[in-house]
């Protein structure tokens, strides 16, 4: 979609509005575009072989000369994970807070891009001028430190993007959310709020992170004769800090296991966001030097990821840690929607090995519940509400909250990824659509697996494949050999010999019939083989495997 020269602000979400993940939004005014967040999403169960999903940035590529920079709200994968892939095409500066930049730097280093990309650390309260925009970073609380809301000052008014947030008056590290600044910005007059919807269905308020610290103290106190293994999100530095603090208080040594956990803890320690008492953290190799009751393992795998450290321990394939009958495993997280089965499977495996498992009251969310969302609306008093970050039902729940606090229904905008929303001081409406949706990353390939390839993979996974090989004489097209039928993922051939023999005869008869006619081309032969075999297989098995005829010419 090409630029239309008018004096309206355009907000174009390129992802993040249909699912939790892949957050990225473009803001455009005349010849300036800035982008907020650049996250990835993890593949659905039916995305066979796909490693990651990154956003479609076709619109940004088409308007490359106008893109001024990326503003990142915080350091979670669903907000920074796609940067190494997107920056290959759109290399513009990145603006974020200190810990967020630290995590981005590590990611860029892994992709050999650190020297090629400009990054700027921004402090709370600082304003960045880029093209037609001025962006202010405002302190918020979340399940990772250094989270920020963005006040985006535009020629038509202020748009407030909350990022992922909650209101925590007693955070483990640093200050509480800057509600005073939210109120001051609200008094200036806010055009629109783009607010986190993840917990918009939950009444009340989200508990403070410090509540988990008290829970850990009672768990450690009640299980002082057991080895304790805690699984949590690698990025929840405050949670890790509380586990370390509790371990130190109970005179236990701490081992950190899982690649992402080790990376984030080393970055957070280096930047001063994690304080580890001396002689508390030990290497996994030293674990054998201490009795079990003096050990705590902090590990990845709280979401049941098959390759994460806890999954490998539960399945007995971890090289250095074996689950023992006296172990206590604490899941300090809630399953992300869609991961419930995987988590349940791990818990069952742990119970099979006679370990004790705790998975309740050991987690608080990093997202605002209904009363906190209402508080933000009452402080900002925006003209328009644009619910973001969540599945449709979460955003719909926030739309109801916005209506409760007095925003007119016609000013609550339920938009989709790819919609072009135009706003000015008085109006807001969707005026068009741009390409949006997931681009699949498979191995080293980005975007080379499209919908057609995915459809083929689903077809193969569901019904298998039959290959029909035949040899034709050059020139006259006489059948010299075959048809030979090979199948994979369709039926077990040794137990279905009669089915395969009959299929071979049916294809042979169809070929004999068509070969007798004049002017038969290869395309016609292949179509006949596919149609004949497909009809036969469907009648016999009610399955539709992929059928590939191969003709060799001699």
Contact between residue 421 and residue 414 where contact means Cβ atoms under 8 Å apart: no
Question: Cα 387 vs. chain centroid, distance in angstroms?
Answer: 19
Residues 6+ apart with CB under 8 A from 288: none
Residue (of 239, 210, 215, 204) closest to 368 by Cα position? 204
Contact between residue 373 and residue 398 where contact means Cβ atoms under 8 Å apart: yes
Given 161, 367, 389, 394, the catalytic residue: 367
Given 164, 178, 196, 442, the catalytic residue: 196
Question: Cα 44 vs. chain centroid, distance in angstroms?
Answer: 10
Q: Is 175 a catalytic residue?
A: no
The secondary structure of residue 206, as a DSSP letter, is P
DSSP calls for 124-166: TT-EEEETTEEEEEEE-B-SSTT-EEEEEEETTEEEEE--S-B
Contact between residue 140 and residue 176 where contact means Cβ atoms under 8 Å apart: no
Residues 6+ apart with CB under 8 A from 409: 403
Q: Is 196 a catalytic residue?
A: yes
Strand order in the sheet with 295-299: 253-257, 295-299, 228-231, 328-331, 356-358
The secondary structure of residue 44, as a DSSP letter, is P
Q: Cα-flanking dihedrals φ and ψ of residue 469, to 5°?
A: -110, 130
Q: List the alpha helices (DSSP H) in 388-445.
A: 392-404
β-strand pairing of 465-472 with 479-488: antiparallel
β-strand pairing of 228-231 with 328-331: parallel
| Active-site residue set | 196, 367
């Amino acid at each position: 979609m090409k630029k239309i020269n008018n004096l309206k602000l355009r907000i174009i979400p390129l992802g993040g509005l249909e699912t939790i993940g892949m957050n990225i939004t473009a803001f455009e005014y005349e010849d300036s575009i800035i982008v907020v967040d650049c996250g990835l999403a993890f593949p659905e169960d039916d995305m066979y072989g796909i490693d990651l999903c990154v956003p479609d940035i076709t619109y940004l590529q088409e308007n490359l000369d106008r893109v001024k920079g990326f503003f990142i709200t915080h350091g979670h994968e669903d907000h920074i994970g796609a940067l190494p892939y997107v920056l290959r095409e759109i290399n513009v500066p990145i603006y974020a807070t200190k810990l967020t930049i630290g995590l981005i730097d590590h990611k860029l280093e892994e992709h050999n891009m650190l020297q090629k990309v400009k990054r700027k650390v921004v402090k709370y309260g600082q304003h960045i001028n880029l093209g037609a925009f001025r962006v202010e970073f405002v302190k918020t609380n979340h399940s990772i430190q250094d989270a920020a809301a963005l006040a985006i000052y535009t020629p038509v008014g202020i748009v407030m993007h909350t990022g992922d947030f909650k209101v925590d008056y007693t955070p483990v590290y640093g200050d509480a959310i800057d509600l005073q600044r939210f109120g001051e910005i609200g008094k200036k007059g806010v055009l629109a709020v783009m607010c986190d919807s993840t917990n918009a269905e939950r009444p009340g308020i989200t508990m403070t992170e410090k509540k988990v610290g008290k829970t850990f103290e009672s768990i450690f106190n009640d299980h002082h004769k057991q080895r304790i293994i805690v699984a949590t999100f690698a990025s929840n530095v405050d949670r890790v800090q509380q586990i370390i603090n509790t371990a130190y208080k109970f005179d236990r040594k701490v081992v950190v296991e899982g690649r992402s956990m080790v990376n984030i803890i080393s970055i957070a320690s280096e930047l001063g966001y994690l304080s580890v008492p001396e002689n508390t953290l030990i290497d996994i190799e030293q674990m054998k030097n201490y009795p079990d009751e003096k050990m705590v393992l902090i590990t990845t795998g709280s979401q049941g990821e098959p390759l994460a450290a806890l999954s490998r321990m539960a399945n007995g394939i971890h090289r250095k840690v074996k689950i023992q009958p006296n172990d206590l495993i604490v899941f300090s997280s809630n399953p992300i929607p869609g991961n419930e089965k995987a988590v349940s499977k791990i818990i069952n495996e742990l119970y099979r090995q006679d370990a004790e498992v705790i998975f309740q009251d050991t987690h608080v969310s990093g997202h605002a519940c209904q009363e906190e969302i209402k508080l933000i609306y009452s402080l900002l008093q925006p003209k328009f509400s644009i619910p973001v970050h969540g599945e449709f039902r979460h955003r719909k729940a926030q739309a109801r909250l916005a209506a409760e606090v007095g925003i007119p229904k016609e000013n609550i905008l339920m938009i989709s990824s790819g919609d072009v929303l135009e706003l000015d001081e008085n109006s807001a409406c969707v005026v068009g659509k741009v390409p949006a949706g997931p681009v699949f990353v498979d191995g080293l390939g980005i975007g080379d697996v499209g919908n057609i390839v995915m459809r083929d993979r689903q077809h193969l996974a569901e019904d298998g494949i039959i290959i029909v090989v035949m040899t034709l004489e050059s020139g006259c097209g006489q059948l010299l050999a075959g048809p030979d039928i090979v199948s994979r993922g369709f039926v077990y051939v040794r137990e279905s010999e009669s089915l395969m023999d009959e299929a071979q005869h049916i294809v042979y008869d169809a070929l004999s019939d068509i070969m007798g006619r004049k002017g038969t081309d290869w395309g016609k032969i292949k179509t006949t083989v596919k149609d004949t075999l497909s009809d036969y297989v469907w009648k016999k098995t009610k399955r539709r495997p992929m059928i590939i005829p191969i003709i060799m010419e001699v």
